[in-house]
Chains A and B, each alone.
Chain A
Amino acid sequence: MQSVKIAIRRVAPLMILDLDGAVTGSADEALRTAYANASAEAARDVLLNFGGVDHMDSTGISVIIALLTEARQRQQRLMITGLSAHYRKIFDFMGLAQYAPVFESEEAALAWITQHH
């Protein structure tokens, strides 16, 4: 399993973090750094793109939950796309979609954010 690699890109008004590889506890520092860099661009809305993620475990979901909890505290909004059907359902089952909206695609997230800006 390849540990996660994160690329940041801006698609106004979103900052998008493209995740690639495995999301586990070891992704903590990389995710926080990437998120901090994205936030530094003054983006209120950050989209995590899981399209390149081939594995996620319990320590990985812990990192994501900590991130979304802290984002809410800072009045920022974390959004999700690219989840496989399996991870999407677990995400839903945990009730997390109410805190971090989940979208089928980047375009759907952009359309939603445009409507809600």
Chain B
Amino acid sequence: MDHAAPLIGRADEVRKVIRYLLQPDVRLLTLTGPGGIGKSRLVEAAADAIAGAFADGAHVVDLASVGDPTFVLPAIAQVLGQHESAAAPALEHLSMLLHDLRLLLVLDNFEQVLDAAALIAALVAACPTLKVLVASRSPLRVECEREFAIPPLGLPDPSAAPAIDTLAAVPSVALFINRAQAVLPEWRLTHSNAAVISQLCLRLDGLPLAIELAAGRMKILSEHDILRRVVDRLDVLAGSARDRPDRHRSLRAAMDWSHDLLSGQGQVLFRRLAVFAGGWTLAAAEIVCACDGIAEDDVLDLLAELVDGSLVSVDPSGGGARRYRLLETIRQYAVEKLDLSGEAGILRQRHATYFQSIALQVDVALSKTGTPDNRSAIAEVGPERDNLRQALQWSVDQAQAEHAARLGGVLWQVLEQAVVRHPQPTKAIGTSALTARELEVAALVARGFSNQAVADELVIGRRTAETHVERILNKLGFDSRTQIGVWAAERGLLNAPAD
């Protein structure tokens, strides 16, 4: 899906979400709905629209690649640019950090980590000005939660034959038109195709992802052909998956026939791309996926075929090599295909081998510069964090100790640097985070006092002074005394008398 494309047909829902979030008693709002209903797009749009109402902004945490509930708070801390406290548990540390901030925390793909719901509820309870917006297939089922079930896009009335302009304004039809014209600019909604498009939107239950997949095929199929294929596929699914809700069948049908339309090689590449975690670059796809039926030179064209078919999205964030990814709902479908193909084992091996070689290159680059803290070499592989973790686990499983050790070393630096690069929220921590004694110590540290000098000045033991400094570092999320100095100076603590 093209996440840079405008959000179509959701103006009402965005307004409702904003209205909810502005209510003082709404602290945790969960947008629920099945895969393909457009939860991620809606929370992104709502967060963008309302960010200005929060003095400390809106921060989006995508939990798609976070499979373990215990990783949720670390993932939040990382997006906020925070080191976790060495002394305090993650919840306590985050609560302290967010306590005085007017901030909107957006948690996407929460259904993967529902067991972390109580932690989020505790965070909301501890931070009076924090609001949390969640996108999840299921509600968190905690007391402070307000749920907003995202409806399907508005559908045309099957019993009416409205004017073309009226039909074009119906949200599901508007989305179809927008996405169809993205691949076929000259295409128009007309009297001759209006009934087919209406029928298509109805059969796809107004599910945005299903409609986008269908419209993406307008380049190669007529609207009649698309409708016929969708209906055929729905008939098959109606027979084989009676226990699934209609909307699940609609999405499955759209994915099935969209997949069936791919070339043979396109289908192979599609399933092989499921081996990546957190996206991939063209270079990675060329090396990992080019084997047994796909040549390295074929990968670019096949990837373009998948992008054209709306099965692969191009990451719009820019910077460095362009990255591609499968929307989570589509990735789960691709994983199924990969597991059924019998290729999963060899693809995981190829994936690990590729990232082992990337880790080796980083290692060599670091050793050449002689600086173990080379930021640029590490920053370049930063986006590959999830792939590196997956390769590390594969290497440990396969008893490849040398590769595992190297991958672990690189991943460690990636995780450390990801924190260092975005230190902005720390600045917002007020003096209330420290005790009176810690403020005294911070002021002395800012004036260049050593731990011994602090101890002498305050008539306390050296070990006690060290403990105070350690606690200040932890509470403020800093890793150096210099940062304490800057923080203290910004708050006028340097002017306070030392005694």
The residues of A with any CB-CB pair to B shorter than 8 Å are 57-59, 61-66, 68-70, 72-73, 84-87, 89-90, 92-96, 98-99
Residue B162 at the chain A interface, CB threshold 8 Å: no
Most buried by B among A58, A66, A84: A58
Instruction: Kindly state the separation between the CA atoms of A57 and B393 in the bound complex, as whole angstroms.
Output: 19
B404 A69 Cβ-Cβ under 8 A: yes
Is B122 part of the contact surface with A, judged by Cβ < 8 Å? no
Chain A residues with Cβ under 8 A from B412's Cβ?
57-58, 61-62, 90, 94
A58-B372, A62-B406, A65-B408 are contacts. A90–B389 as well, Cβ < 8 Å? no
Given contacts A59-B372, A59-B409, A89-B90, contact A70 B401 (CB under 8 A): yes
Task: Given A61-B412, A94-B392, verify A72-B406 contact (CB < 8 Å).
Answer: no
In the complex with contacts A85-B87, A92-B70, A94-B415, A68-B409 CB distance below 8 A:
no
Complex A-B: 11 CB contacts under 8 Å: A57-B412, A58-B413, A59-B372, A62-B412, A69-B400, A73-B399, A73-B401, A85-B85, A86-B83, A89-B74, A94-B408
User: What residues on B are CB-neighbors of A93 within 8 Å?
Assistant: 71, 74, 389, 415
Is B89 located at the chain interface by the 8 A CB criterion?
yes
Q: A61, A86, A95: which contacts B86 (Cβ < 8 A)?
A: A86
A residues within 8 A CB of B84?
Answer: 85-86, 89
B389 x A66 contact (CB < 8 A): no
A53 to chain B minimum Cβ distance, whole angstroms, is 11
CB distance from A106 to the nearest CB of B (A): 19
CA distance A61 to B408 in the complex (A): 7
Interface-central residue, B83, B88, B393, B409, by most chain A CB under 10 Å: B409
Query: Smallest Cβ distance from B66 to chain A, in angstroms?
Result: 9
Q: Once bound together, how far apart are the Cα atoms of A94 and B409, in whole Å? A: 10
- Taking the closest CB of chain A, its distance from the CB of B416, in whole angstroms, is 8
| Closest A residue, CB atoms, query B410 | A58
Identify whether the interface residues of B are mostly helix, strand, loop, or mixed.
Answer: helix
Cα–Cα, bound, A87→B74 (Å)? 11
Contact (Cβ within 8 A) A66 B71: no
> In whole Å, how far is A71's beta carbon from the nearest beta carbon of chain B?
10
User: A63 vs B405: C-alpha distance in the bound complex, in angstroms?
Assistant: 7
B contact residues vs A (CB 8 Å cutoff)? 68, 70-71, 74, 83-90, 93, 372, 389, 392-393, 395-396, 399-402, 404-413, 415-416
Contact call B372/A85, Cβ cutoff below 8 A: no
Chain B residues within an 8 Å CB radius of A72: 396, 399
A66 touches B402 (CB 8 A): yes
For A84, the closest partner residue in chain B by CB is: B86
Is A69 a contact of B409 with CB atoms below 8 Å?
A: no
Residues of chain B within 8 A of A95, CB atoms compared = 389, 392-393
B396 touches A90 (CB 8 A): no
Q: Knowing A84-B86, A90-B415 touch, does A62 contact B71 (C-beta < 8 A)?
A: no
Interface pair A85/B409, CB less than 8 Å apart: no
Name the residue on B nearest A100 (C-beta): B396
Chain A residues positioned under 8 Å from B89 (CB to CB): 85
* A residues near B407, Cβ cutoff 8 Å: 65
Quick check: B396 and A85 within 8 Å, CB to CB? no
Bound: A73/B400 CA distance, A: 9
CA A87 to CA B70, docked complex, whole Å: 14
Closest 4 pairs between A and B when the two form their complex, measured CB to CB: A65-B408, A62-B409, A66-B405, A69-B401
Shortest Cβ distance from residue A84 to the other chain B in the assembled complex, whole angstroms = 4
- Nearest-Cβ distance from residue B348 to partner chain A, whole angstroms: 14
- Are A69 and B405 neighbours in the complex by a CB distance under 8 Å? yes
**Interface pair B410/A65, CB less than 8 Å apart:** no
Q: Shortest Cβ distance from A7 into chain B, in angstroms? A: 22
Min CB distance B433 to A, Å, is 17
Give min CB distance, A23 to chain B, whole Å: 11
Which chain A residue lies CB-closest to B411? A94
Give A84 to B90 CA distance when docked, in angstroms. 11
Interchain CA distance A93-B71 in the complex, whole Å: 6
Contacts of B405 in A (CB 8 A): 62-63, 65-66, 69
Residues in B whose Cβ lies below 8 Å from that of A84? 86-87
CB-based contact A65/B396 at 8 Å: yes
Which residues of B sit under 8 angstroms from A65, Cβ to Cβ?
392, 396, 401, 404-405, 407-409
Least distance between B359 CB and chain A CB atoms (Å): 10
Residues of B within 8 A of A92 (CB): 68, 70-71, 74
Q: How far is the CA of A95 from the CA of B395 in the complex (A)?
A: 12
Shortest CB distance B391–A (Å) = 11
Report B-chain residues with C-beta under 8 Å of the C-beta of A73: 399, 401
| Cα–Cα, bound, A94→B391 (Å) | 10
Are B90 and A62 in touch, CB under 8 angstroms?
A: no
Chain B residues lying within 8 Å of A58, measured Cβ to Cβ, are 372, 408-410, 412-413, 416
A45 to B154, CA, bound (A): 61
Within the complex, the shortest CB–CB distance from B94 to chain A, in Å, comes to 11
Residues of A within 8 A of B416 (CB): 58, 90
Inside 8 A of A63's CB, which chain B residues have their CB?
Answer: 405
- Beyond A73-B399, A92-B71, 12 additional contacts (C-beta under 8 Å) are A58-B409, A59-B372, A62-B408, A62-B412, A66-B405, A68-B396, A69-B405, A84-B87, A85-B93, A86-B83, A89-B84, A93-B71
Given the complex, which residues of B lie within 8 Å of A68, measured CB to CB?
396
Residue among B395, B400, B405 having the largest count of chain A Cβ atoms under 10 Å: B405
